Amino acid sequence: MKISLITWNINSVRLRMPLLEQLAGALDPDVICLQETKCPDGKFPSSAIRKLGYDHMAINGQSGYHGVAILSRIPLTNIDKKSFCDMGDSRHVSADLALSAPAQSPIRVHNFYVPAGGDVPDPAENPKFAHKLGFLNEMESWFLDKKAGHIDRMVLVGDLNIAPFEHDVWSHKQLLKVVSHTPVEVEHLEKVRLSRGWVDLMRDHVAHDEKLYTWWSYRARDWSAADKGRRLDHVWVSPALSDFAGETRVIRDARGWERPSDHAPVLYRFET
């Protein structure tokens, strides 16, 4: 069975519903994982999304802030919303893709929106940065917990708000002390990755000495020409799925659409 999945920090699902329609029409993915939907569950544009063919939804929304959602043409089961750091933020939702083939075990999709962390990379001075590190610590502990009900075949996607490698940012030297690329954040994210042996598929397909970005600031007058990007959005798979991985691709053109998100969608195709 061939499956295509897109992860995208849409930066307001209601504001950018026309772009979601454009994306779905152009790429026809089976599953779309959204972050920063900025929409409470009761106002989520479910009817419009069903018209695009996504009858199955797992939503964890919040008015004005955060929010994540999984939109799927494949039935979803075991929908779960994990709370981190006792903050009441809507930053995680997961669900199992109920595959039609009876012999196939389900695939669990985890959709995350990790806190950005503010501007000062010091947890003692900046509560937002402390929150980010605490969130990552809890992610690591949760995935290490053998009683948490994790299954073998899993996909983890989302805006993890960290660009871990040298060529995941436009200037490694200039951004070492900038939140999203500091060594302490990178170390915490790597511990999360190692917690389940997650495979970073984007870097599995693109050499580490090649630049790879998913986010470009609104502040740049000509974002494409300046190309001062960062890879903040990720696609990870558990080892049991790593041999089935196909294409991963940043849909860079979407960053240039009318009234765009500052994040580009990432496409992941695989066969299972």
Walk along the chain (272 residues) in steps of 10 and give the mean pLDDT of each run. 95 98 98 97 97 98 94 97 95 94 82 98 98 98 94 96 98 98 98 97 94 96 96 97 88 97 96 82
> 3-class DSSP state for residue 144?
helix
Give the total number of structural domains in the chain: 1
pLDDT at 103: 57
pLDDT at 102: 61
Structure tokens at 90: 């809507």
Phi, psi (deg, nearest 5) at residue 71 = -110, 130
Helical pair 127-144 and 183-195, crossing angle rounded to 10 deg: 20
For 213, the domain range is 2-271
* Other CB atoms within 10 Å distance of the CB of residue 244: 14
pLDDT at 271: 84
Whether the model clears a pTM of 0.85, i.e. scores above it, the answer is yes
pLDDT at 204: 92
CATH of the domain at 68: 3.60.10.10
Report d(CA 177, CA 155) in Å as an integer.
30
